[in-house]
Structure 1
Amino acid sequence: MTVGEHCVLGSQAEVRLNSTTESVGLIGDGSLLGNFVSLYEGVQLQGDVVVEDNVHIGYDTVVGVGTRIMYGAYICDRVQIGDGSRIAGFVCDTSVIGDGCTSMGNLVHAYSDPAGDWWGPDEASPVLQDGACIGMGAVVVGGVTIGAGAYVAAGAIVTKDVPANTLVTGTNQHQPRPRPNEA
C-alpha cells in the first residue's frame, strides 16, 4: 500500500464522534491513496484500489477490488461500489454501484421533502447495475435503477428507471444502446 501526503485515515463519522467501539476500516493490499484523501471510519478498500488526490469517502463505504476513485470524487456514507469500477463526481449516501461501472456525473437524492428531518431515514438512492456508465456532468436523481450496460450520456438528467442496454440523452430520453459493431 502507498499513502500520499496529508491523508486522513479513519476520521470519525459525525454520529459516532464519542464512540470507541467501531472499527477504523480496512485498506487492502496493493491499494494506492493519493494526496489529500479522507477516509472515514469503517471504509473498506478491497485490494488494488486506486484513490486519486482530493477524494472524500464517507463512513462504512465499501469499494471493490481494482476500482479507481478519480480526482476530487466525493463519495458519501454507506455506499457500495463493485469491482473494477471507475468513479468520479458526487455519489450520495447508500448508493449502490455494480461491477465494471463508470460514473463521471452525480448520483443524488431527490430531496422531495426539503423541510423534513435532516437526520431521518435516507431517501432512496440510485442503483447502477453491472457495466452501467454515467457520462460527465450527467445527474441521476433519486431511487432510480440504471440497468446493466446502460449508458447515460454526458449532461443527461435521469429521474426514471433505465432498462439494461439503453442509451439516455437529454432528460429521460431512452433509446436502445447501439452496439460497437452497429455504429
Structure 2
Amino acid sequence: MNIESIYAPVTIGTTSVVGAHCTFGYPKEARIRDEQKLPGSQRVGARVVVGERCQLANQVVLHEGVSIGDDCVLEDRVRVGYDSTVGAGTRIVYGAFVCDRVTIGANAVVAGFICDGTRIGDRSTVMGELVHEYTRPHQDWWEVDEEPPIIEADTVVGFGARVVGGVRIGPRSYVAAGAVVTKDVSAEHVVTGVNLQTPAECWSGERLQSLIAHWRAEARRQR
C-alpha cells in the first residue's frame, strides 16, 4: 500500500518556514487500518493548517487535523498528533511528543510527553510529562479512554515533573522540577515532592517571589 495516497491535505502560511525532512498530514492509525482492509475506500483526512510567520524546524511531524496558530515555533523532532490545536505564539521544544486531540493555548511553552486529550492553558509552561493513569492495560489499546490532565492558564510544570491521570492544575500554579502530582491543585499553589502543595502566599522560597508577585498583580488587574 502506498501510504502517501491517504495523507491529509496541508495549508501552510506563505510567511512560514519549514525545515528538512518534515512530515505533514500523516494519517491516523484508524484510517490506515481501514485502508489496509479495503484499499481505495478512504476519504481525505482532516486538513493540516499552519498559520503565518511560523518556524517549523527539522524532522517535525504533524498528523492529520492539526492546526498551528500564527507565530509558533516547533523545534527539531517535535511530533503533534491528530486533531490537535496549538495556539498563536506557542513554542514546542526539545523534541516534544504531543499525542492526539491535545489543545494547547496561546503563548505557551511545551516540552516532554503530553498524553491524548490534554488541555494546556494560555501562557503555561509544561516541561515535564502529562500522562494517563493506565490502570487497565489488559484492555484493548483504543478501547480505554482515560481522563487526561488539564493545565490551566499561567501555570508551570517543571522539568522532569509528572502529572498523572485526570488531574486539574489550577491557574497560576507552579509544579517544581521532579514533582509528582496525582491530585487536583487549586489556583496559586506550589507543588513539590509527591503531592506536597503549598499556597503561594505561604511560600517562603526566594526564587519564586517575583513570579508570585506577578500572579498577584495579574489577579488584581483582572478583578
1:168 CA drift (Å): 0.2
Match runs of 1:59-70 below 5 Å: 59-70=82-93
1:3 aligns with 2:26: no
Aligned with residue 84 of structure 1, among 96, 99, 107: 107
Distance 1:181 1:129 in 2: 16
1:181 CA drift (Å): 8.0
Identity %: 48
- RMSD in angstroms over aligned alpha carbons? 1.4
Match runs of 1:12-51 below 5 Å: 12-17=27-32, 18=35, 19-51=42-74
1:180 aligns with 2:206: no
TM-score scaled by structure 1? 0.96
Distance 1:69 1:20 in 2: 30
- Between 169-178 and 15-24, the greater mean CA deviation after superposition: 15-24
**Contact 2:136–2:144 at 8 Å: present in 1 too?**
no
Distance 2:110 2:197 in 1: 23
TM-score scaled by structure 2? 0.79
- Which letter does structure 1 place at the counterpart of 2:59? F
- Residues 147-181 of structure 1 show CA distances to partners (whole Å, capped at 9, x for unaligned) of 00000000000000001100000000000124428
In structure 1, the residue matched to 2:129 is 106
Gap runs ≥5 in structure 1? none
Distance 2:47 2:174 in 1: 35
- Which letter does structure 2 place at the counterpart of 1:16? R
Higher relative contact order (CA 8 A, sep 6+): 1
- Between 12-21 and 75-84, the greater mean CA deviation after superposition: 12-21
- Between 23-32 and 54-63, the greater mean CA deviation after superposition: 23-32
SS in 1 for 2:62: strand
Distance 1:181 1:5 in 2: 38
Structure 1's consecutive aligned runs of 4 or more residues displaced over 6 angstroms after TM superposition are none
SS in 1 for 2:130: strand
Distance 2:80 2:212 in 1: 39
Q: Which has the higher helix share?
A: 2
